[in-house]
Structure formats: C-alpha cells, structure tokens
Structure 1
Amino acid sequence: MADPARARKIADRIKVIVAKALERGIKDPRLGFVTITDVRVTGDLQHASIFYTVYGSDEERADTAAALTAATGMLRKEVGRNLQIRLTPSLEFIPDAIPETSARLEQLLAEARERDSASQAAAAGAQYAGDPDPYVKPRQYDEDDED
C-alpha cells in the first residue's frame, strides 16, 4: 500500500495530465465542454477514478461519456508516459453530481426560507392560547377566610 501523501500527489498529477490531454489530444466531436473535478487513486495505485462535469444538456453529457469511454486507452497511455511509475493505473470516468447536488441544495434552501417567512408571519399575529400568565402563584388568603 502506498503512502497516502504519494497517492494524493499521483491523483493530482493524473488530474493535470488528463485535463491537458482532453484539451489538446482528443479530436472526438462527441466530446463536450468537460471539466475534471477530482481524481481518487486507490491505496495500491492500481485504479484511478476520475470525476468530471459536462456543461450542456443530457444528450451532450451522454455523448461526452461515450467519448471518454472510447478514449480511455489513449488517456491511460498518456498517463503512463507522464507519470513514470512502475504500473499505470486503470482509469474510470465517473460523472460528478456536483451541479445537480448544488441545484437541489439551492431549492431546499429556498423552500426553507419560504417556510421560515410563513412561520414568522403566523407568529406575528398570534395570541396565547391560555391565560396571559400561565404560572401558578401562591394562594392569597383574606383575613375573612381564616376559620
């Protein structure tokens, strides 16, 4: 098992190599506007998971996924040539869910703001349900009550 710091450095290096290769090396017309967001390498440096996002519609995302799958061998060869380690890790491209997650989070925050404002509006005109002073006070005896 490799040192975690070394695995992190290799992951960063793979991220740069793949990004440059996508920028200048692949001539596939299906490839859209791709951003490599993260790379994770296993502890034994045998497998690299590359997370990416694509700007565009669902069809463009599907086309880009197909183009990346087709170019995996060429990209692995490029990674092996530039890393200069004994074994070149296998590459796996995974679409990153950051845009969808952030959109859902924004939607939930807007919904929470609406509920909060509705709650504040309801509380503004609210009255207590019971007595104005609900606490029990000690009983006061009149002098007439003493038997």
Structure 2
Amino acid sequence: MANTRAARIGVLIQRVVASSLQRELHDPRLRGVTITEVRVTGDLQIARIYWTLLTDPNKARGERKRAEQALRQSAGRLRSHVGHKAGLRLTPQLEFIYDELPTQAHEIDDVLVVAKKRDEELERSREGAQYAGEEDPYRHPREDEDDDFDDEDDEEFDDDFDDDSDESSENDSEDDDDDLDEDSEDSESHDSSANSDENEDVA
C-alpha cells in the first residue's frame, strides 16, 4: 500500500516539476532539462528526481554543471509548487540526480550509426571485387548434403548389384547341377539298353 502511494506521488511530482521548469522558472540554465523519473521513498520523506539534458554533446559538460547549480537553487521554490499543486499535506524533500542512461543510449546510437556506415562502405567495395580463383571456393552445407546422398545411393546400388550377382550365380550353379544329373541319367539308360541288346544277340 505504501509503495503504491509512493509511486502515485512520484508521478504527481514529476508532472508538477516538469510543468514548473517549462512555464514558471525562466532560468536560461534550465533550458533543455527533462525529467525522466521520480522515485519517492517508502516513508514519503524524500523524492529523488532524475533528469537529463538535451544539448550539444560538445557543450554538455559545461551546461550540465550550470543546470545542476540552477536546480539546487530552485529546489525550495519547486518544492512549494509541488505542495501547492499536488495537494500534499507533507511535501517530500527534492533531490535532483542526473540520469546517465539517456546519455549512454545516445552514445550507443552514435556507435551503431558509425558501424552501419562502415558496413555500407564495405558492401560497396565488395560489389566490384572478383574472386582470385574459383568464383566460390567454399563448400556450402547444401552441397555437402547432396554429396552424402549421392554416396549413400552409390553404396546402396553396389549392394543391390552384388546381391543380384550372387543370386544369379547361385541359380546358374543349380541349373548346371540339374543338367549334369540329367546327362548322367541318360547315359545310364543308354548303357542299360545296349547291354540288353547284346544279351539277346548271344542267346
């Protein structure tokens, strides 16, 4: 419950302070100051106001110091505005803390922009380049898979061919054995007939 109330008071303080900086405090040192977040302690005694400065990076250091000084000098007046406009019976003490995150994010954006430009320049330089040897000397995964499939197909074909050859050899061998058996039977029958004829002649 206390945390919920502290969060709600923080939102009110952020609105009041931001409005006062724009409309009621005409201090040139506060131009470009933006309130990013307000955190109120659980006992509602202190409100930490996080702020950043939108300005030229080359002038940021000097302007930041001047803005910090102006905020410290205006803290009492801003607290009165908060108590009056937010309708708080007990107005927290205001502490102003510079928010480093937007600055760091801006620096990261600058780095990304530079990296993108370098990538574009590298891409343009590659457009007119030619391979020294083959057009594409590198093997690709898809080609390797196709080669593997071809090897497997060849092995399966060889196995099938060997099996067929073995079966054919076995069949031929069986046929030869059958022919030999038949010739042997014919020879025995012929010899038997010849012996019978000779016996008849002798008689």
- TM above 0.5, yes or no, is yes
Identity of aligned residues (%): 36
Quickly say closer, same or farther: Cα 1:128–1:91, change in 2 above 3 A.
same
Partner residue of 2:181? none
Extract unaligned runs of 5+ from structure 1: none
Greater helix proportion: 2
Partner residue of 2:45? 46
State which drifts further: 79-88 or 137-146: 137-146
Q: Aligned partners of 2:137 and 2:106: how far apart in 1? A: 36
Return the offset for 1:63: 0.9
Quickly say closer, same or farther: Cα 1:29–1:105, change in 2 above 3 A.
closer
In terms of Rg, which structure is larger?
A: 2
Partner residue of 2:111? 107
Partner residue of 1:2? 2
Match of 2:147 among 133, 138, 141: 133
Aligned 1:8-87 pairs, distance under 5 A: 8-56=7-55, 57-58=59-60, 59-87=62-90
SS in 2 for 1:86: coil
Match of 1:95 among 86, 92, 98: 98
Extract unaligned runs of 5+ from structure 2: 127-134, 167-203
Return the offset for 1:78: 2.3
* TM-score of the two chains, using structure 1 as the length reference: 0.69
Quickly say closer, same or farther: Cα 1:112–1:29, change in 2 above 3 A.
closer
Aligned Cα RMSD in Å?
3.6
User: Comparing both chains, which one has the higher relative contact order based on Cα–Cα distances under 8 Å and sequence gaps of 6 or more?
Assistant: 1
Quickly say closer, same or farther: Cα 1:101–1:66, change in 2 above 3 A.
same
Contact 1:68 1:93 in 2 (8 A): yes
Return the offset for 1:54: 1.6
